[in-house]
Amino acid sequence: MSSVKHKILVLSGKGGVGKSTFTAHLARGLARDENTQVAVLDIDICGPSIPRVMGLEGEQVHQSGSGWSPVYVEDNLSVMSVGFLLSSPDDAVIWRGPKKNGLIKQFLRDVDWGDTDYLIVDTPPGTSDEHLSIVQYLSCTNVDGAVLVTTPQEISLMDVRKEINFCQKVNLPILGVVENMSGFVCPKCKNESHIFPPTTGGAEKMADDLKIPFLGKLPLDPRIGKCCDEGTSFFEEVPDSPATQSYLSIISKLRKYCQKDGQTESSMDCS
Amino acid sequence: MSSVKHKILVLSGKGGVGKSTFTAHLARGLARDENTQVAVLDIDICGPSIPRVMGLEGEQVHQSGSGWSPVYVEDNLSVMSVGFLLSSPDDAVIWRGPKKNGLIKQFLRDVDWGDTDYLIVDTPPGTSDEHLSIVQYLSCTNVDGAVLVTTPQEISLMDVRKEINFCQKVNLPILGVVENMSGFVCPKCKNESHIFPPTTGGAEKMADDLKIPFLGKLPLDPRIGKCCDEGTSFFEEVPDSPATQSYLSIISKLRKYCQKDGQTESSMDCS
């Protein structure tokens, strides 16, 4: 991991809030600069969505002298996921914790990550084996921190608060909170609906209350889901959409944070 | 568990597709018949949403001579969740697999479920510890089967196919598939949008392809999310909505299936 400059974990607490979608867009956004080497590690062992979202379904991992080779989307964007190790995409990975932890360790140790500027780690929902393991295995490296993704409704914020509690307990810096699926603009009449209503003030208020940076809101746009299903880049398909602008603004904030923080050591314990 | 007649697992594969929302509505719908005793067991240890969704946040479990008492929503509707064991709702449950499995065993063995007609089990996303444990611990009892909840887009169907693969591998009967968040009707112009587009045909086509019963579609209705955040019953708040009608139709199908199947033994191995 010494050749990997920045490491960002994408966490949420609750599932289905758009972690993998955000991870994919963050990676694609950072990789728009062709001098930036970006890698994505998907540690959602039982539900790996990253291969599909990044248009890599059916790809396989290759073994080389320097370890497992990740799969490349572009010259400067590589991906590793358990999805590349399955014989069929419908195969369930029915594994208990220790086996999942073993694979995560292998992903970090045996994959030839090469010189990477940003490693984005997509995680499953919750605060269990995968989360403890990745934090533990990365604890002696310089982890920039975690981005927390949520939807506006209280039922999702509840789980994000748990995730914040987790980050504090394991000394993982929080880079900020992103609110996904914030509003839906009817394509016919342009009326905006809150499909997932922010009954308790949404993520911005929560971030404010808890003194955590709020990175921005991403609107619900069916074209995002469509691009994810098809594995295409939303930035290329719909470059002028409000969602693209929001993504780029969030990515720019994260890049600045990492570059500012790049030279300082992480506050994580190396135990 | 011998006093519990019917046991239904709610599974999804992917998170955030509405498992807890569906579980709560299934339970509330069955409990509309006051002669039916319904219980909900939430085995999402790291992200327990059920207490909030059922309006029970802040409640505690009581210990009695016959074990842990579940928390009651109504006389005929009781709930057990790790959420009732936490000192604060923001506390993260940072547990690896074995500890989670231990609690699930306790929930099944030490909770005073009494005479229950339907036990609905809400599960976390994935196919790991919690899923293996609940299936294993219930394997000698008569489990009716699993309801699989999904959203229409391929990225969610992919994970449901894994869940189907899981059910087949562990010999868990599949009661059927429910498609949630199927379409959104703009409250202003009544135009219907597919927020999560069914790019590969949606759940109905998948169920048809895989020869699994399709139970029905549930529309996206922001009032459902609002009721869940507030812990109120959507059936009581908006009794005449299309979503209520869809829910009741699905619940009626499940009730019929369970009653028909009630006298026959489950096909699961008792090993």
- CB contact under 8 Å between A228 and B132, yes or no, is no
Q: Where are the alpha helices (DSSP H) in chain B?
A: 19-30, 50-53, 97-110, 129-137, 154-169, 202-210, 222-230, 234-237, 242-261
The pLDDT score that the predictor gives to residue B66 is: 87
Output phi, psi for A149, to 5 deg.
-105, 135
Residues of B in contact with A93 (CB under 8 A): 127, 162
The pLDDT score that the predictor gives to residue B261 is: 65
Nearest-by-Cβ selection for B94 from A89, A92, A169: A169
Largest CA distance in chain B: 58
SS3 A56: coil
Distance from the Cα of B159 to chain A's closest Cα (Å) equals: 6
The pLDDT score that the predictor gives to residue B259 is: 86
Statement: residue A262 has pLDDT above 70: no
Residues of A in contact with B180 (CB under 8 A): none
Interface probe with A: pick from B46, B91, B184, most Cβ of A within 10 Å: B46
Interface probe with A: pick from B20, B103, B104, B158, most Cβ of A within 10 Å: B158
Tracing tokens 């609906």 back to the chain, one arrives at A193
Residues of A in contact with B24 (CB under 8 A): none
Distance from the Cα of A92 to chain B's closest Cα (Å) equals: 4
Element (H, E) at B12: none
Query: What does DSSP say about strands A174-179 and A145-150: parallel, antiparallel, or unpaired?
Result: parallel
Q: Contacts from B247-251 at CB under 8 Å and sequence distance 24+?
A: B247/B25, B247/B26, B247/B29, B247/B218, B248/B29, B249/B216, B250/B26, B250/B178, B250/B215, B250/B216, B250/B218, B251/B25, B251/B26, B251/B29, B251/B30
Nearest-by-Cβ selection for B195 from A97, A127, A222: A222
Interface probe with B: pick from A12, A22, A94, A232, most Cβ of B within 10 Å: A94
Residue type, B207: A
Distance from the Cα of A223 to chain B's closest Cα (Å) equals: 8
- CB contact under 8 Å between A159 and B197, yes or no, is no
Quote the crossing angle between the two packed helices A97-110 and B97-110, to the nearest 10°.
160
Contacts of A101 (CB under 8 A, 6+ apart): A129, A130, A133
Nearest-by-Cβ selection for B97 from A125, A129, A191: A129
- CB contact under 8 Å between B189 and A191, yes or no, is yes
CA distance B180 to B213: 15
Any idea how long chain B is? Answer: 271
Nearest CA in chain B to A98: B97
The pLDDT score that the predictor gives to residue A266 is: 45
Report how far apart, in Å, the C-alpha atoms of A239 and of each of A29, A234, A243, A245, B137 are: 11, 7, 9, 8, 51
Q: How far is CA B239 from the centre of its chain?
A: 21
Please, are residues A219 and A242 in contact by the beta-carbon 8 Å criterion? yes
Give me B258's structure tokens: 């369970």
Interface probe with A: pick from B96, B136, B170, B234, most Cβ of A within 10 Å: B96
- CB contact under 8 Å between B49 and A14, yes or no, is yes
Contacts of B85 (CB under 8 A, 6+ apart): B60, B61
CB atoms within 10 A of CB A201: 13
- CB contact under 8 Å between A153 and B187, yes or no, is no
Nearest CA in chain B to A54: B155
Interface probe with A: pick from B133, B157, B162, most Cβ of A within 10 Å: B162
Statement: residue A270 has pLDDT above 80: no
- Band the pLDDT of A91: cuts 50, 70, 90: very high
Q: What's the pLDDT tens digit per position in A120-174? A: 999 999 999 999 999 999 998 989 999 999 999 999 999 999 999 999 999 999 9
- CB contact under 8 Å between A196 and B225, yes or no, is yes
- Band the pLDDT of A260: cuts 50, 70, 90: confident
Query: Which DSSP symbol is given to A3?
Result: T
CB atoms within 10 A of CB A168: 13
Nearest CA in chain B to A210: B90
CA distance A180 to A243: 10
- Band the pLDDT of A271: cuts 50, 70, 90: very low
Distance from the Cα of A161 to chain B's closest Cα (Å) equals: 5
Nearest CA in chain A to B130: A96
Distance from the Cα of B10 to chain A's closest Cα (Å) equals: 15
Please, are residues A226 and B197 in contact by the beta-carbon 8 Å criterion? yes
Q: What's the pLDDT tens digit per position in A233-246? A: 999 999 999 999 99
CA distance B32 to A142: 55
The pLDDT score that the predictor gives to residue B265 is: 45
Residues of A in contact with B163 (CB under 8 A): 92
Please, are residues A219 and A179 in contact by the beta-carbon 8 Å criterion? no
Residues of B in contact with A132 (CB under 8 A): 94, 96
Nearest 10 degrees: Cα torsion A165, A168, A134, A60 = 60
Nearest-by-Cβ selection for B124 from A125, A166, A191: A125
Nearest-by-Cβ selection for A187 from B46, B90, B193: B193
Which of A155, A163, A15, A201 has the alpha carbon at shortest distance from B50?
A155
Contacts of A180 (CB under 8 A, 6+ apart): A17, A18, A21, A22, A149, A150, A151, A217, A218
Nearest CA in chain B to A89: B158
Distance from the Cα of B33 to chain A's closest Cα (Å) equals: 28
Report how far apart, in Å, the C-alpha atoms of B56 and of each of A1, B60, B270 are: 45, 9, 35
- CB contact under 8 Å between B47 and A159, yes or no, is yes
CA distance B154 to B216: 17
Output the tens digit of pLDDT for each of chain B's 271 residues: 889 999 999 999 899 999 999 999 999 999 999 999 999 999 999 999 999 999 999 999 998 888 999 999 999 999 999 999 999 989 999 999 999 999 999 999 999 999 999 999 999 999 999 999 999 999 989 899 999 999 999 999 999 999 999 999 999 999 999 999 999 988 889 899 999 999 999 999 999 999 999 999 999 999 999 999 999 999 999 999 999 999 999 999 999 999 886 544 444 444 4
Q: How far is CA B240 from the centre of its chain?
A: 23
Q: Where are the alpha helices (DSSP H) in chain A?
A: 19-30, 50-53, 97-110, 129-137, 154-169, 202-210, 222-230, 234-237, 242-261
CA distance B26 to A155: 18
Q: How far is CA B166 from the centre of its chain?
A: 17
The pLDDT score that the predictor gives to residue A261 is: 65
Read off the pTM.
0.92
